[in-house]
Structure formats: structure tokens, C-alpha cells
């Protein structure tokens, strides 16, 4: 079997889908037909690349990626809580 080669731009775009768009590695893997472990490596390499080229005094790309992940988790939790509250209000308003 012949080994596939991917361009740098292709790898960056795949990493962007993981980091910025917040897609899971499984989703990106299914879309692009690339193994998940390769996507994780591309993501790490892309962040390291950004880290090396960041201007002095700027926030670290690793810190930004961690912050984005944390904010996504908080948003998902808030959405779940909001849905629970909506159902609770609906339930108690019907009893009257």
C-alpha cells in the first residue's frame, strides 16, 4: 500500500477544524478520511508552530486553545442547565 502525503495547508486546515471549529477528531477523521491519531499530531504540530512564531507579550496559542476548550465545556453545561430550567418551568406551570 502506498503511503499518502498531505500538504502543509491541508494539515493546517485539519488542525483548524479541531481547534477553532471545535469538531471532534472522530468527525474530522470521518470527513477527511484521515486516522484520528494523525489529526492529533497535526493539531499539536500546528499549535507548536504558532507558539514558535507568536509575538512577544502575546497570549500563548496553547493557552488560547485550552481557554477555548474550557469555554466550550462551560457553554455546553450552561445550555444543559437552561434546558432543565425550561422543562422545570413548563412542568410547574402546567400543574396550576
Query: pLDDT tens digits, the chain, 96 residues: what are they?
Result: 678 889 999 999 999 898 888 888 999 999 999 999 999 999 999 988 888 887 777 788 888 888 888 999 999 999 999 999 998 888 888 765
State the residue range of the domain holding 39. Answer: 8-95
What was the pLDDT predicted at 11? 93
What was the pLDDT predicted at 1? 65
- Residue 13: inside a domain: yes
- Residue 38: inside a domain: yes
- Residue 20: inside a domain: yes
How many domains would you assign to the chain? 1
- Residue 1: inside a domain: no
Total-model pTM: 0.65
- Residue 3: inside a domain: no
Buried (b) or exposed (e) across 55-72, using 16+ Cβ within 10 A? Answer: eeeeeebeeebeeeeeee
The whole-angstrom separation of Cα 3 and Cα 5 is: 7
What was the pLDDT predicted at 95? 60
- Residue 2: inside a domain: no
- Residue 51: inside a domain: yes
Amino acid at each position: 500500500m502506498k503511503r499518502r502525503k498531505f500538504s502543509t495547508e491541508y494539515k493546517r486546515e485539519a488542525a483548524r477544524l479541531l481547534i477553532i471549529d471545535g469538531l471532534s477528531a472522530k468527525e474530522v477523521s470521518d470527513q477527511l478520511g484521515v486516522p484520528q491519531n494523525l489529526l492529533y499530531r497535526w493539531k499539536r504540530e500546528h499549535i507548536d508552530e504558532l507558539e514558535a512564531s507568536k509575538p512577544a507579550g502575546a497570549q500563548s496559542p496553547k493557552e488560547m486553545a485550552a481557554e477555548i476548550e474550557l469555554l466550550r465545556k462551560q457553554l455546553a453545561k450552561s445550555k444543559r442547565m437552561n434546558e432543565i430550567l425550561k422543562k422545570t418551568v413548563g412542568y410547574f406551570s402546567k400543574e396550576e
